[in-house]
């Protein structure tokens, strides 16, 4: 048994290698098909990646991985030497090998061995051999199995042909968080020094200059520390090449995937969280967006469907765009389905945007769609809720016959929230700004008290439930002196929250609540204020649930007043 650290390193290296190799292979086959050429450099790169994985697996005694890699290398070697021509089935066989490794890795990480996969490895090896055999016109003798000498491995690594020089290091996320904590402390300490009560009433010109300099340094330090969590989205995007390839093959479509803005940097945790939703969106675009090649030709579109995957920064958000040139969303059939399922009123007239949003409602997908994406358990409703969990939102645009564009609007980082600071008694709370629709003074004349103590308020001809934040959080002592209402909206639900004062908008660094307190409904975390005090960050979804738990009745739409 090897050092778990070594195994861990092998697992993460392998995952990186697979992410790199899969798009290369698909690219290679595509070029051969279209232009009849084999890009030698790409092929060498693939060969090199497989070879180093093979060497590393031999070193760690991972026999099954090693054998599969050996067989894949044979096939790649034959391709490289021009003994066989690259065909779709070779690509599939190599991808099968990649899938095998992906399957073994989680268990390898857990158990430190790959010996439970012998049967499976044999099947994969058989496939690889078969594709090599069929590919070569004159059957090649099997190249004898040979351990990769270690020297060769280091030589490969150090070879000058290696284009990418990796100068990055892995850092424990805990350490990064600790760094952010300390910088947060530094910000507070700065305030304590610069606004020290002892200085009150004095003016020190030089001191103020120095303090300003300190402030600039601390701000850039804070920005830098946050940027450490950001990684380019390219890795995730390149994984989609494989997804599009597999889906297209299965559904008999021809698809070209175009990647844009691969260098766009996004918080590591955001990337992890949107991986599954993105897979779903790409599959959907291929499956339901792009028409079959014959039909595309018939209506005068190029045979190959085009899917564009784009990432870019825009106004403090990261946009991730999945755009296809397929058949677009059919408004009539969406409306019909929604009516059948009782998701909308029979006579309702909705603007286009709202119609498209219907596809995100739970229970909207048809049964066939559910089996299509089986195994993942991700539907459009999950895409939406996952994005909302990240405090983002989803936009859909579509023109029938021309295509559909899904835009994920995501925050730049999860470490910071754009918040609205409100006050109740002596305490400050933070509301996520994206959920805040409107602020207005509480006018008691507009409030209606329902039996059971619930309240609604009339605003612009609509009724909204009103809840005092103080009561909602069950704060002990003190009495309600709400003066301002904050109109909140999430997932179509609306609520007016009564607070005593609105202190303004601020970017707030999020910290988790102590684990020992457990999960508290309506609180997503906390933050440290400039004076060193702690404020709680409210979670709108949880706040709405708290209201529901109090059996507060209110209509989803807000209700019309005659």
Partner 1 sequence: MLMERGQKRDEELSNEGGALEKYLTFRVGEEDYGISIQHVSEIVGLQKITPVPDVPPYVKGVINLRGKIIPVLDMRLRLGMPERPYDERTCIIVVNVEGDLLGLIVDRVNEVTDIPQEQIEPPPSEEGGFVMGLGKVGESVKILLDVHKILR
Summarize as ranges the residues that interact with partner 1 (CB under 8 A).
181-182, 184-185, 426-427, 473-476, 511-517, 520-523, 526, 528, 532-536
Q: Which is nearer to partner 1, 335 or 513 (CB)?
A: 513
- Minimum CB separation of residue 390 from partner 1 in Å reads 22
- Work out how close the CB of 470 gets to partner 1 at its nearest, in angstroms, rounded to a whole number: 10
Number of Cβ atoms within 10 Å of the Cβ of 158: 8
**What's the closest the beta carbon of residue 185 comes to partner 1, in angstroms?**
4
**Structural contact between residues 449 and 466, judged by C-beta atoms closer than 8 angstroms:** no
In terms of CB distance, is 353 or 507 closer to partner 1?
Answer: 507
Q: Are 263 and 232 spatial neighbours (Cβ–Cβ below 8 Å)?
A: yes
Compare residues 290 and 510 and give the one whose CB is closer to partner 1.
510
CB within 8 A of 428, min separation 6: which ones? 421, 422, 503, 529, 533, 535
Give the nearer residue to partner 1 in terms of CB position, either 48 or 470: 470
* 173-194 helix and 205-227 helix, angle to the nearest 10 degrees: 160
Backbone angles phi, psi at 495, to 5 degrees: -160, 140
Nearest distance, CB of residue 467 and partner 1, angstroms: 13
For Cα atoms 58, 61, 64, give the angle at the middle one, nearest 5 degrees.
80
Tokens 């026999």, residue located: 63
Residues 525/537, Cβ–Cβ less than 8 Å:
yes
Q: In what order do the strands lie in the sheet with 255-260?
A: 255-260, 305-314, 317-324, 403-411, 393-399
Across 135-194, the runs of DSSP E, i.e. the strands, are: none
For the purposes of burial, counting CB atoms within 10 Å of the CB of 99, is it exposed (0-12), middle (13-18) or buried (19 or more)? middle
Q: Which two tokens stand for residue 283?
A: 């599959």
**DSSP letters along 486-532, please?**
EEEEETTEEEEEEESEEEEEEEEE-BPPPGGG---TTEEEEEE-TTS
Quote the least distance from Cβ 510 to partner 1, whole Å: 11
- Comparing CB distances to partner 1, the nearer of 461 and 532 is 532
Q: Which residues, listed in sequence order, are joined to residue 163 by a DSSP beta bridge?
A: none
Nearest distance from C-beta of residue 184 to partner 1, angstroms: 5
Find the shortest distance in angstroms from Cβ 215 to partner 1.
19
Give 189 or 450: the residue with its C-beta nearer to partner 1. Answer: 189
CB of 489 to partner 1, least distance (A): 22
Q: Which is nearer to partner 1, 52 or 527 (CB)?
A: 527
DSSP β-bridge partners for residue 495: 488
Of 186 and 306, CB closest to partner 1: 186
Contact 119, 126 (CB under 8 A): no
What is d(CA 11, CA 104) in angstroms, rounded to the nearest whole number? 9
C-beta closer to partner 1: residue 380 or 473: 473
How are beta strands 403-411 and 393-399 bridged, if at all? antiparallel
- The smaller minimum CB distance to partner 1, of residues 7 and 510, is found at 510
- Closest residue by Cα to residue 42 from 52, 28, 26, 22: 28
**Nearest-approach distance from CB 186 to partner 1, in angstroms:** 9
- Minimum Å distance from CB 549 to partner 1? 11
- For partner 1, the closer of residues 450 and 520 by Cβ is 520
In the complex, least distance from residue 526 CB atom to partner 1, rounded to whole angstroms = 6
CA distances from 396 to 177, 334, 372 (A): 35, 13, 21
> Cβ of residue 547: shortest distance to partner 1, in angstroms?
13
Q: Which is nearer to partner 1, 196 or 366 (CB)?
A: 196
- Per-residue burial over 209-227, b if 16 or more Cβ lie within 10 Å, else e, is eebeeeeeeeeeebeebbe
* Long-range Cβ pairs for the range 211-220 (8 Å, 24+): 214/190, 215/190, 218/183, 218/186, 218/187, 218/190
Token pair listed for 487 = 């109109």
3-state secondary structure string, 225-238? Answer: HHHCCEEECHHHHH
Nearest to partner 1 of 153, 188 (CB atom)? 188
Smallest gap from Cβ 173 to partner 1, in A, equals 16
**Length of the chain (residues):** 562
């Amino acid at each position: 048994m090897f050092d778990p650290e070594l195994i861990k390193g092998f697992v993460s290296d392998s995952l990186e290698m697979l992410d790199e190799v899969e798009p290369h292979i698909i690219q290679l086959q595509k070029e051969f098909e279209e232009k009849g050429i084999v890009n030698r450099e790409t092929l060498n790169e693939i060969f090199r990646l497989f070879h180093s994985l093979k060497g590393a697996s031999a070193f760690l005694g991972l026999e099954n991985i090693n054998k599969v890699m050996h067989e894949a290398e044979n096939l790649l070697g034959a391709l490289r030497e021009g003994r066989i021509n690259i065909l779709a089935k070779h690509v599939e066989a190599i991808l099968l090998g990649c899938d095998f490794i992906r399957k073994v890795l989680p268990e390898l990480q857990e158990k430190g061995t790959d010996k439970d996969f012998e049967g499976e490895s044999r099947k994969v090896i058989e496939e690889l051999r078969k594709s090599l055999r069929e590919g070569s016109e004159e059957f090649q003798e099997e190249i004898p199995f040979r351990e990769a000498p270690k020297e060769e491995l280091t030589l490969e690594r150090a070879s000058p042909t290696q284009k990418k020089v990796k100068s990055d290091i892995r850092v424990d996320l805990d350490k990064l968080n600790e760094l952010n904590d300390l910088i947060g402390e530094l910000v507070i300490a700065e305030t304590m020094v610069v606004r020290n009560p002892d200085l009150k009433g004095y003016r020190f010109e030089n001191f103020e200059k120095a303090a300003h300099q300190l402030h600039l340094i601390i701000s850039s330090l804070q920005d830098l520390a946050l940027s450490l969590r950001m990684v380019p989205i390219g890795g995730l995007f390149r994984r989609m090449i494989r997804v599009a390839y597999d889906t297209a093959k299965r559904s008999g479509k021809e698809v070209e995937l175009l990647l844009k803005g691969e260098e766009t940097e996004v918080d590591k945790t955001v990337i992890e969280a949107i991986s599954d939703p993105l897979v779903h969106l790409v599959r959907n675009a291929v499956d339901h967006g792009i028409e079959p090649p014959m039909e595309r030709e018939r209506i005068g579109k190029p045979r190959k469907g085009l899917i564009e995957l784009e990432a870019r920064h825009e106004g403090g958000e990261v946009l991730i765009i999945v755009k296809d040139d397929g058949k677009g969303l059919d408004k009539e059939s969406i409306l019909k389905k929604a009516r059948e399922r009782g998701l909308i009123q029979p006579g309702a007239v909705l603007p286009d945007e709202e119609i498209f949003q219907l596809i995100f409602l739970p229970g909207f997908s048809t049964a066939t769609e559910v089996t299509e994406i089986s195994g993942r358990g991700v539907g459009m409703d999950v895409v939406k809720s996952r994005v909302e969990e990240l405090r983002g939102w989803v936009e859909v645009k579509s023109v029938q016959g021309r295509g559909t564009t899904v835009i994920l609007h995501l925050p730049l980082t999860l470490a910071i929230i754009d918040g609205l600071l409100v006050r109740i008694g002596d305490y400050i709370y933070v509301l996520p700004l994206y959920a805040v629709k409107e602020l207005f003074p509480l006018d008691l004349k507009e409030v209606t008290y329902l039996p059971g103590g619930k309240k609604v308020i009339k605003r612009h001809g609509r009724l909204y439930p009103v809840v005092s934040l103080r009561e909602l959080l069950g704060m002990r002592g003190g009495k309600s002196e709400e003066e301002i209402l904050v109109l909140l909206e999430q997932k179509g639900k609306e609520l007016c929250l009564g607070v005593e004062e609105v202190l303004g908008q601020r970017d707030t660094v999020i910290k988790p609540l102590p684990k020992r307190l457990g999960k508290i409904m309506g609180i997503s975390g906390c933050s440290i204020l400039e004076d060193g005090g702690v404020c709680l960050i409210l979670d709108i979804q949880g706040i709405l649930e708290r209201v529901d738990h109090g059996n507060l009745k209110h209509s989803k739409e807000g209700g019309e007043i005659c």
